[in-house]
Amino acid sequence: AVVSTQSTGHGTIELDRVLVKIIDTPAFQRLRNIKQTGSASYVFPGATQTRFQHCIGVCHLAGIVIDRLALLTEISPVDKLCVQIAGLIHDIGHGPFSHLFDDIFINNADWSHELQSCRVFDYILDTHTDVAAGLKERGLMDNDIIFIKELINTKVLQSNKDCEWRFRGRSRDKSFLYEIVANERTGIDVDKFDYLLRDCYYLGVNCTLDWRRLVHMMKIVEKDGQRRIAIRDKEKDNVFNMFYLRMHMRRIAYQHPTSTSIDFMIRDVLKLCNDLVFPDVLLSDTIHDMEKYLCLTDCILSIISHMQPTEKNSANLQKAKELVRRIHSRQLYSLICETPPSTRDFKNKEGILDDVIGEDKILRGQLITSVLSLNFGNWASSGDPLQTVLFYDKVGNVLSDKLYNNFSTFVPSSWSQKQLRFYCTSEDKEILGLARRKCNEWVQRSFPENS
């Protein structure tokens, strides 16, 4: 039995009832209050799309890809359901304001929202017997649960250079299933299809991705002892457009300078209230406390704004409330300077700040640096995303690297670039003027060719 509903960008979609059982849990419903593009709604008023909508969209697209591939090879109903569940819950582990919480506030190399999604899924199975029973009725066993979690966290695919099979959920002959939801090999996956389509729609950006044609041109091929998903060679421009659109959205939206400023302000609010939101656990430690973690949504700013001061929390709470007030009244951290685009790493940001500040101690704690990193993806060491994509010709032959190199001579001179941005947290005009002068002097010293 299926349930029909409407989805922005996809029209009428049908969901298996066991998927609806997962959707109807508080852990999934929480995604209604987590925006897909974090603080971008402060810059793009229409950017109100949520992780709730996105996850359902990815689930739907995963089913479409499975149905296409099922015309080419045998795929069991259990395999299809597992892939759709993975698409449905792949982002269920996100914290407030999505990547802001994950990458800027937590910033822990041993933790990721993908790993947290797997933990939330375990929590749902432990606390909702109807969901666990529904999956069991549909034939899902312990190895299928492992398979679902592997589909979400597939980073081992990217680092697997020796082609050794390291997954436990499915055998090597079903390796193509690991390239549908989160494809760490080539970057072509339904997660990207949905968020590019959805984000462009809500932000008012022209979407150049024809995902339906890409799905129609998918084929399963043998490569290095594994069955992989390949794309027809004549779709190379469509594939490139997808990666270009991703880079374009990072530049104009995901890393918009104003949105980045607000990200830092929200980060500082959360840091100030790290020990104030819950009486017995730090906000940053909720990643290890599922009950507390699942209480966190974008509403946290409103909660902090309405918290009552006490003798213990008065100073930090007052500072946090002032930052929230500044966000809402558009008195933001100021972007005062940025470097020209380059291929430099800017890894030693603390050293750069020391060099900028010099003897002017008044700027200590007033400057923040942020790296605008633009690329076509990290799937190929060269930076060219097409080099990792498998293409086949009209008779079904997988193209060699030599043939790939004949695709086009129209390629960028560089596949990635970075810019270092300087923000000042102060509203004092004298401090702002000093900070702007010191940062500009550092840029002129460091980039004399652009002076």
Instruction: Report, as residue numbers or ranges, the catalytic residues.
Output: 113
Half-sphere exposure of 362 (CA within 13 A, CB side): 10
Q: How far apart are CA 23 and CA 193, in angstroms?
A: 21
**Contacting residues for 258 by C-beta, under 8 A, at least 6 apart:** 42, 43, 332, 335
CB 47 within 8 A of CB 95: no
Q: Distance between the two ends of the chain, CA-based, in angstroms? A: 66
Radius of gyration of the chain, Cα coordinates, nearest whole angstrom: 24
The 10 Å Cβ neighbour count of residue 205 is: 16
The DSSP 8-state label assigned to residue 420 in this structure reads E
The DSSP 8-state label assigned to residue 250 in this structure reads I
Report CA-CA distances (Å) from 147 to 13, 189, 252, 345, 433: 25, 17, 36, 37, 56
Cross-sheet strand order for the sheet of 334-338: 334-338, 416-424, 367-375
Q: How far apart are CA 233 and CA 214, in angstroms?
A: 11
DSSP, residue by residue, 146-176: HHHHHHH--HHHHH--S-----SSS-GGGGG
The 10 Å Cβ neighbour count of residue 280 is: 7
Report CA-CA distances (Å) from 317 to 216, 272, 274, 301, 353: 54, 7, 10, 12, 28
Q: How far apart are CA 54 and CA 59, in angstroms?
A: 9
Give the tokens for residue 234: 């004549």
